Structure 1
Amino acid sequence: MPPLVIVDGHNLLFRAAFGFPVPIKSRSGVDRTATFGFFSIARKAAVEIGEAEWVVFFDGAQGTSARLAEDATYKAQRVLKDPTIFDAMPDIKAGLDLLQIRWLELETTEADDLISTLVGMEAESGRQIYIMSMDKDFYQLVNQTTVILNTARKREQWIIGHEEILTQYGVLPTQWCDYRALTGDPSDNIQGITGIGPRTAARLLADGMLLEELVDSGRLGGSIEKKVLAGWEKVLQNRHLLRMRMITDPQLSTLTSGTITSWLPAKDILSKLQLWD
């Protein structure tokens, strides 16, 4: 079975739309930066990874609704500076269809949860999985066969695995949500415990300790103990929001087939879609 590359579609879209120094336009002057960038960045990764099957997930329009029902401040700080980038979505999906790359978007589901579900399904067979995203939330899914592919980093740092996370943050991937529950996650507008930064959180969770064990561990003391206990319900709520969820949808079971994806250069994809005119 070839490796599986799972793409966080909107994450790649935002990088493509805002990551190029100059706009990429068609002959008639239509801005094609987002579409061109999406396929150009993906193909560059595909060349490095080699033969693999690719699948793409997109956030549903109401994807955050479940978490917003639990915490109205979830991702409340995010303001889209240029909503016109979504105009590229139909063309990107048409390009994926052209390449016979399967993609999925569910109205009330975040791509994170779809990706987590598929990873769980595929990992049972021991398949090598790459999650293509800049989002650190996916660190919680990393194990011996699942790694993060972040091509926004230096080439030698594209792959983020178990050891890289442990070395940089001092916690295991399985502790990632516990760690972020304490420190907070600004990208999702999740507030942590004041006074607990990355180093303190890593010390409290050293040796694989989970939140459930922390209160009776003897590691808390002084002002830190008071802060943690005072904000304990908030910490548990944070972790609940951060944890990716299993999605039940019959489409997930038919997304992968083991077929190796054949990639065309981005300019050829846009030409075939008649987007260069």
Structure 2
Amino acid sequence: MDARLAAGLHEARSHTGRQTDAHPAVAGAGPALMLVDGHHLLYRAHFGFPRRVTTASGEDLTGLFGFVALLRKAHREHCPDHEVVVVFDAEDGSAGRAENVPGYKAGRAGADHSPVVHLPAAKLALDTAGVRWLEQPGCEGDDALATLARIAADTGRAVVVFSGDRDLYGLLDGQRVRILNTQLPAGRQLVTAADVATRFGVLPVQWPDFRALTGDASDGIPGVAGVGPVTAGQLLADGRHLEDLPETATGRAGTGLARARAQWPEVVAWREALRLNARVPVPDGLLTDRATPELLPAGRLLTEAGLW
């Protein structure tokens, strides 16, 4: 392992310690913050909930019911003392990146987007539960998540981001920001900066460079042909970014380097599209610095909201 990665890994581990469900914040900084990737959770609930949930009239409410149930479970079991804020993608959120990278998220156009029919009801359920949510016009949800995570962490609050989206790995920052993915096996559901460094051989700050080289099919980023995680890790050794790639390399790394340089403008554009913008405008006062009370069971909450 190269010296810079080893130092970064040591730093990440020194902050995170052993994996735990506790996310202590700096004394006096307010409760820890649980940020929720709203669209990801809604789609996961609709397509992955263990059983279909229908009303007496036969209406399929699986996505809505599962959204509330999975959120309640994650909050109760992992973040009971956290303030909860749910972030959704704006309808036009990816337009800016698509202008710079043709094909960005183009593959999603033909996907099954039936879960979005439950989006207004999910927001109403959150309002009924007293959970704040944000859909910032013109903004991808990942950028809003990054901005809120930065704001909270800068004031000393610990942050956990509830999502299974690897695009958010770039947010990981020692004890300050972690990711909760309850789809992972028990004991590995809390993803830390150290986990990324150990598994992929890069630090979270290098994640956009890494994904630009290896590709990100879900975002329509093809990556460099023949460059997989191992080769990308070799090219990005010593904490390098794309601008710092070595002049020469041997074996597969050499082939990958030559191919990357042959399509350099595209690779750099991919990296920029994958970078999170932690400086987007968000409403003042969205974060209340108050822990969110335990949510009602899904059936009861939907009944109170008039949705059941």
Into which bin does the TM-score normalised by the smaller protein fall?
A: over 0.9
Match of 2:161 in 1: 131
Post-superposition shift, 1:272?
0.7
Q: Which runs of 5+ in 2 are unaligned?
A: 1-29
The equivalences for 1:25-36 within 5 A come to 25-36=54-65
Query: 1:84 matched to which residue of 2?
Result: 114
Map of 1:268 onto structure 2: 300
Q: Does 2:271 align with 1:239?
A: yes
Match of 1:200 in 2: 231
Return the alpha-carbon distance in structure 2 between the equivalents of residues 224 and 87 of structure 1: 43
Q: Which structure 1 residue ranges, 5 or more long, are not aligned?
A: none
Whether the 8 Å contact between 1:16 and 1:35 is mirrored in structure 2 is yes
Instruction: Please give the alpha-carbon distance, in whole angstroms, between the structure 1 residues aligned to 2:190 and 2:282.
Output: 31
| Aligned residue identity for 2:277 | R
Q: For residues 206 and 186 of structure 2, what CA distance do their matches in structure 1 show?
A: 27
Contact conserved, 1:130 with 1:147, CA < 8 A, in 2? yes
Partner residue in 1 for 2:183: 152
Q: Distance in 2 between matches of 1:246 and 1:196?
A: 28
State percent identity of aligned pairs.
39
Q: TM-score, normalised by structure 1?
A: 0.94
Secondary structure class of the residue paired with 2:179: strand
Q: Residue 56 of structure 1 aligns to a residue in which SS?
A: strand
- 1:98: Cα distance to partner? 1.0
Other-structure match for 1:16: 45
Question: Partners in 2 of 1:148 and 1:33 — Cα distance?
Answer: 25
Give, in whole Å, the separation in 2 of the partners of 1:69 and 1:208: 30
Q: Which amino acid aligns with 1:10?
A: H
Shift of residue 38 of structure 1? Answer: 0.4
CA distance in 2, matches of 1:120, 1:226: 36
Match of 2:127 among 97, 116, 119: 97
Structure 2 CA distance for aligned equivalents of residues 139 and 84 of structure 1: 27
Following TM superposition, by how much is the alpha carbon of 1:79 offset from its aligned partner in structure 2, in angstroms? 4.1
Alignment partner, residue 13 of structure 2: none
1:11-51 Cα distance to aligned partner (Å, 9 max, x none): 00000111124310112222111111001101111111221
2:218 maps to which of 187, 190, 207: 187
Three-state SS of the structure 1 residue aligned to 2:307 is coil
Partner of 1:52: 82
| CA shift for structure 1 position 86 | 1.6
Deviation at 1:191, TM superposition (A): 1.3
1:81 positional shift: 4.5
1:119 paired to 2:133: no
Q: Structure 1 CA distance, aligned partners of 2:106 and 2:282?
A: 31
Offset at 1:271?
A: 1.4
Q: Which amino acid aligns with 1:228?
A: A
1:224 has 2:256 as partner: yes
CA distance in 1, matches of 2:144, 2:282: 12
Q: Which of 101, 108, 124 lines up with 1:71 in the alignment?
A: 101
Q: Which amino acid aligns with 1:147?
A: R
Q: Partner of 2:27 in structure 1?
A: none
Structure 1 residue 212 corresponds to structure 2 residue 212: no
2:25 is matched with none
Checking the alignment, whether the CA contact within 8 Å between 2:94 and 2:139 is kept in structure 1 is yes
Question: Separation in 2 of the partners of 1:100 and 1:64?
Answer: 29
Where does residue 164 of structure 1 map in the other structure? Answer: 195
Distance between the aligned counterparts of 2:254 and 2:194, measured in 1?
32
Mapped contact 1:99–1:261 kept (Cα < 8 A): no
The C-alpha deviation readout for 1:208-264, integer Å capped at 9, x for no partner, is 122221144x4467433321210221111111000011344251x311111111111
2:150 is paired with a residue of what secondary structure? helix
Shift of 1:121: 1.1
Distance 1:21 1:45 in 2: 16
Query: Cα distance 1:80–1:272, how it changes in 2: closer, same or farther (>3 A)?
Result: farther
Q: What SS class does the counterpart of residue 77 from structure 1 fall into?
A: helix
* Equivalent residue, structure 2, for 1:2: 31
In 2, Cα distance between equivalents of 1:212 and 1:61 = 33
CA contact (8 A) 1:26 1:275 kept: no
